[in-house]
Structure 1
């Protein structure tokens, strides 16, 4: 089965405005919106506006866009008043990536333990 792109990709549809999302920030290259199944009091997804399957692919294609995603994650955490936050990027099905469009999870709002679980 091939990875979805464009109209078939959940995050591409959110970026295009075809699906609703609670947007909390945006930048030139990325959009940030609340996760619909949060794993922490603050759980935001930062996605690039263009479709790439994972962050490694985004870094290879455009380091500037990856830097933009990380900067937006920091701004989202700051806007939420988080004293600290975690960014998580799952790459590949074996790492439990479920939407094959690059994205960062921004997690915070409580003390986070390590390892996560």
Structure 2
């Protein structure tokens, strides 16, 4: 029983020291490498290639929600505008204003209109 207690104490002490060293600024040790390598959507129209190549950073609990939310918001607006343009071309109607295209498909955006 004493041996088990000693092993647990050594493990706890080692974990604590490792945590302290990881948190401390140690001379000669470079800062931790960041995992942020996201490629945001480019400005302008979004095409299939940009959607296919879209990558998000992974965080402890999955993807970074702010990046995913922004990409989905952007894609929602792009798709709504394209749907409005397709409808305009099919109906032979006049050119809709951009605000009309966004509001026409607001139900599809599910409150993502920011």
**TM-score (norm: length of structure 2):** 0.25
Q: Which has the higher contact order (CA 8 A, sep 6+)?
A: 1
Structure with a larger share of its residues in strand: 1
Structure with a larger share of its residues in helix: 2
Q: Which has the larger radius of gyration?
A: 2
